[in-house]
A = this chain, B = another copy of it.
């Protein structure tokens, strides 16, 4: 399971002492090849953590030997000294693997604006390499948790269709993944660290294209609290150890399923969430319009509070739709909550008392009556527990 499910990878999660809780806080995932092809997407926040700046350069080369990840500190807004810390961490892992720091990705998560305790972090890198093995995926996933209450891992075994006329040969490859992220979840990307591994054999350009395609319809459509992180990273590493060169479309489909699985796990563990809310936007003039409307609804604090109270206050959906520049006529908007069309043609439809929001899963459907396009955005409600959890994070 997790990132060590595919052949060619080993991993570990160890205790460095960065977290005051004494839990695992440093992870490594090592690609033993034969391929080292890799791709990644990073936060679109213009304030970027040191590890993001470093890793962006590394991944631009298309080859990654290993990634080291830490919780207990984001190493963001830490200036030139923070960047030196990231560099030193990469050098440490490179030395332990007798390899080049130029192929080492670094990810950090935790509080912004504090230096990392390097005296604790660097020895832990050595310890993690010493422990790393084919069973270490779950420990690695555990080590990257911050306020995550559960470990988030995914796994998929795929039979690749071969082009016709070939003799029978190996056609099975595997994807594995781990993720962290519970607060500061907003698109492009949701705040999170994700590592996905595969033993399929694809080059860096194919991996990059597949990863951008997959994240655009999964992590980029998760919006728990509208807040965008400085550290978001989704890294995809391919060892090629299965010997299978899958069809690009087939691989992208499998990768998208792994990303969707992890995104759903992030949604279900979002800080303080008591409802898992799916915003379906249909009848849009374009997919962009559908996403814009879905995100506007997903970010409406008043609606999210109403959902926390199981209150079918659909006017708040319309007021959120109305703030967008999507194509629609206000008098042709339809809205359903859990299948009850409470708003038809911009006016009251079925009685709101028919809506049952008591369950944990809520679906809001917005029909823009403007075209054939659609999109789904995942979000959560806004609860007193969310406020409480985030009112004293740094102190």
Q: For the complex formed by this chain, how many copies does it contain in all?
A: 2
Q: What mask results when residues 85 to 115 of chain A are scored 1 for a CB within 8 Å of chain B, else 0?
A: 0000000000000000000000000011111
Find residues 35-67 in chain A having any chain B CB closer than 8 Å to their own CB.
45-48
* Chain B residue at smallest Cβ distance from A301: B225
Cα of A2 to Cα of B375 in the assembled complex, Å: 49
**Would you call B302 and A390 a contact (CB within 8 A)?**
yes
Q: Provided the pairs A228-B319, A301-B301, A333-B47 are in contact, do residues A390 and B306 lie with their beta carbons within 8 angstroms?
A: yes
Find residues 354-395 in chain A having any chain B CB closer than 8 Å to their own CB.
382-384, 386-395
Q: Chain B's nearest CB lies how many Å from the CB of A218?
A: 20
**Would you call B301 and A226 a contact (CB within 8 A)?**
yes
* Interface presence of A162 (CB below 8 A): no
The residue that A74 contacts in the complex, of B74, B300, B315, with Cβ under 8 A, is: B315
Interface size class of A (residues with CB under 8 A): 35 or more
* Interface presence of A322 (CB below 8 A): yes
* Interface presence of A323 (CB below 8 A): yes
Cα of A318 to Cα of B347 in the assembled complex, Å: 41
Q: Chain B's nearest CB lies how many Å from the CB of A382?
A: 6
The segment from A75-83, A205-213, A250-258 found at the interface with B is A75-83
The residue that A395 contacts in the complex, of B81, B311, B343, B388, with Cβ under 8 A, is: B311
Cα of A134 to Cα of B348 in the assembled complex, Å: 40
The residue that A79 contacts in the complex, of B77, B324, B346, with Cβ under 8 A, is: B346
List, in ascending order, chain B residues with CB within 8 A of A76's CB: 315, 318-319
* Interface presence of A331 (CB below 8 A): yes
* Interface presence of A312 (CB below 8 A): yes
* Interface presence of A184 (CB below 8 A): yes
**Would you call A112 and B47 a contact (CB within 8 A)?**
no
The contact sample of 23 A-B pairs, CB cut-off 8 A, is: A45-B323, A46-B321, A46-B322, A47-B346, A48-B330, A77-B343, A79-B331, A79-B345, A79-B347, A112-B314, A112-B319, A113-B314, A113-B343, A115-B348, A227-B300, A228-B319, A230-B322, A306-B392, A306-B393, A306-B394, A309-B391, A315-B394, A384-B387
